[in-house]
């Protein structure tokens, strides 16, 4: 086996210790157990394999893309295995842990204006690719159909199998939107009555790293809001509070977007009848956020 083979087949974790309403089951996919530590391994694997298959990616090319961190770490890990160069554009205020991981895998980092967030990183990577298209392979995770397809072919089927088809609600936040789009499409094909919902930061000015406030940002080309049955806003403070609970009550050290997902799922669960089954995503490991002072709160 190699790192490509280790991607996916993550367990479904019961979150009953967080006391969801009686009769409502709350579970989460432990995507932080992927080899680079996040759900983004799935999309990165699919996009690189697709590039290799069609001949767009080869030893003469450098992998280039924009990232808020997690997809970049996945590219760097998989690129290292393939012996390929990796250049990643990310906001300069990305935390030290993510930059250290990218450096450890041998990737080149191009820092972009933090005030322009992930949109600025995307435009910077796109300009670099357009200036030297023969030098780079640009997966363009925000617009690459292989991204949601990875989740349609793996994440969605795994959730369906692990819940024995009992899932009634799927909810998660959006970055590129690939996890939501691919999983939602598969699950709704299996059960048209199943509800697929999104968690969204409650403000354009938020601290939920990796999560987009869609109304105030560049919408990914792969995103189709017709698959969204509802939106659950979550504040940065709520997300951090649940992130700390996951670590201190469930022994699950995950990142703030995971906390946001579970916070939204708990809000949703409070509105549901007995017999409902809610599944969300634990998107990445909390080990890449340990420098954040929010861990020191008592709440």
Domains assigned to the chain: 12-38+148-296 (3.40.50.1100), 40-137 (3.40.50.1100)
DSSP string, 265-286: HHHHHTTSPTT-EEEEEE-BBG
Mean pLDDT of 165-190: 97
Question: Is 170 within 8 Å of 197 (Cβ atoms)?
Answer: yes
pLDDT(267) > 90? yes
Instruction: Place 218 in a pLDDT band, splitting at 50, 70 and 90.
Output: confident
Compute the half-sphere exposure of residue 259: CA atoms within 13 Å on the CB side of its CA: 27
Stated pTM of the model: 0.95
The rounded percent of the chain whose pLDDT value lies above 70 is: 100
Mean pLDDT of 102-108: 97
Higher per-residue pLDDT: 96 or 29: 29
Look at 31-35, 204-208, 258-262 and tell me which has the smallest mean pLDDT.
Answer: 204-208
Assign 3-class secondary structure to 19-50.
CCCCCCEEEEEEHHHCCCCECHHHHHHHHHHH
Q: What single-letter DSSP state applies at residue 220?
A: P
Mean pLDDT of 48-65: 97
Mean pLDDT of 77-92: 96
pLDDT(209) > 90? no
Per-residue pLDDT tens over the stretch 21-35 = 999 999 999 999 999
DSSP 3-state assignment of 15? coil
Q: Catalytic site residues?
A: 40, 257
Q: For residue 26, what pLDDT is reported?
A: 98
Mean pLDDT of 44-55: 97
Q: How far apart are CA 147 and CA 133, in angstroms?
A: 21
Compute the half-sphere exposure of residue 47: CA atoms within 13 Å on the CB side of its CA: 26
């Amino acid at each position: 086996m190699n790192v490509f083979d280790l991607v996916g087949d993550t367990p479904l974790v019961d979150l009953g210790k967080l006391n969801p309403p009686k009769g409502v089951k709350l579970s989460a996919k432990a995507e932080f157990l992927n080899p680079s530590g996040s759900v983004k391994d799935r999309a990165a694997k699919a996009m690189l394999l697709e590039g290799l298959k069609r001949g767009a990616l080869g030893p003469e090319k450098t992998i280039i893309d924009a990232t808020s961190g997690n997809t970049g770490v996945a590219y760097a890990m998989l690129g290292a295995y393939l012996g390929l160069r990796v250049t990643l554009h990310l906001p300069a205020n990305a935390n030290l842990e993510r930059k250290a991981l990218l450096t450890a895998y041998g990737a080149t980092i191009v820092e972009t204006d933090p005030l322009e967030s992930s949109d600025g990183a995307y435009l910077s990577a796109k300009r670099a690719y357009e200036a030297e298209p023969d030098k780079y392979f640009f997966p363009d995770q925000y617009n690459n159909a292989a991204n949601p397809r990875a989740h349609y072919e793996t994440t969605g089927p795994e959730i369906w199998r692990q819940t024995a088809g009992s899932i009634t609600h799927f909810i998660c936040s959006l970055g590129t939107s690939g996890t939501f789009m691919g999983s939602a499409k598969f699950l709704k094909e299996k059960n048209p009555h199943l509800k697929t919902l999104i968690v969204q930061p409650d403000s354009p000015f938020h601290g939920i790293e990796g999560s987009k406030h869609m109304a105030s940002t560049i919408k990914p080309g792969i995103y189709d809001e017709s698959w969204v049955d509802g939106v659950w806003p979550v504040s940065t403070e709520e997300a951090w509070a649940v992130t700390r609970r996951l670590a201190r009550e469930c022994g699950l050290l995950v990142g703030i977007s995971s906390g946001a997902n579970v916070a939204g799922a708990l809000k949703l669960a409070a509105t549901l009848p007995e017999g409902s089954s809610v599944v969300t995503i634990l998107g990445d490991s909390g080990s890449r956020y340990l420098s954040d002072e929010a861990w020191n709160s008592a709440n």
